[in-house]
Structures are given as structure tokens and as C-alpha cells.
Amino acid sequence: MSNYPATTLSFQSTSTCPNGSEGSVSVFVNPGGATNYEWSIVGAGNVPIVNNLPVGIYNVTVTDNNSCTSTGSVEVVEDNTFTITTDFISPTCEN
């Protein structure tokens, strides 16, 4: 049995609008060299980034080049903030 460095996963996610599917999740493998990404997301494929997701917790199992596996989860949250932008136009007065 060989001693390989431990594979660690880190995650990044973007939020989605209420009732939307604009979220995304990314998994980063350290040390690099992942060969397989197995997501709990139907149809996600063997990729490190998945887009167009609704709110939820998503699991992934990553297999590295040494056939070692690591499992983790990442959450897409709902973004309830919004921004209102206004323009002020000075009135034009005729004397």
C-alpha cells in the first residue's frame, strides 16, 4: 500500500434568486489531478463545475489520479437581497 498525500476538497458556490435555478457549485481538489467527479446532481456529468442549480445541498465524490476518493458537500443558497438603482434628473424650470 502506498502513502499518497491526503486529497482535500474545497468548494465555491453562487446563490440563486428566489425560486430560481441560477446557482452554481465548483469543487477544487488539492493536490490537483482529479480524474472523476460523481455528483448527486442528475445529469451533472464528470465535471468540477455545475451550473443552473436551484437551492439545495449537493454532494460530490472525487477520485484522484491515485484512485483515492474524497467526498464533500456544498450548498446553494437563495439570495434574498435586491438593489434599487435610481437616477436623479434635475428639473428644468422656465422663468
pLDDT band at 80 (very low <50, low <70, confident <90, very high): confident
Task: Write the pLDDT tens digit of every residue in 2-35.
Answer: 677 777 889 999 998 888 999 999 998 887 677 8
- What is the three-state SS of 2-43? CCCCCCEEEEEEECECCCCCCEEEEEEEECCCEEEEEECCCC
- What is the three-state SS of 44-88? CCCCCEEEEECCEEEEEEEEECCCCEEEEEEEECECCCCCCCCCC
> What architecture is the 8-76 domain classified under in CATH?
Sandwich (2.60)
C-alpha 35/C-alpha 62 separation (Å) is 8
| Number of Cβ atoms within 10 Å of the Cβ of 72 | 14
**Whole-model pTM?**
0.74
Domain segments of the chain as ranges: 8-76
C-alpha 70/C-alpha 43 separation (Å) is 20
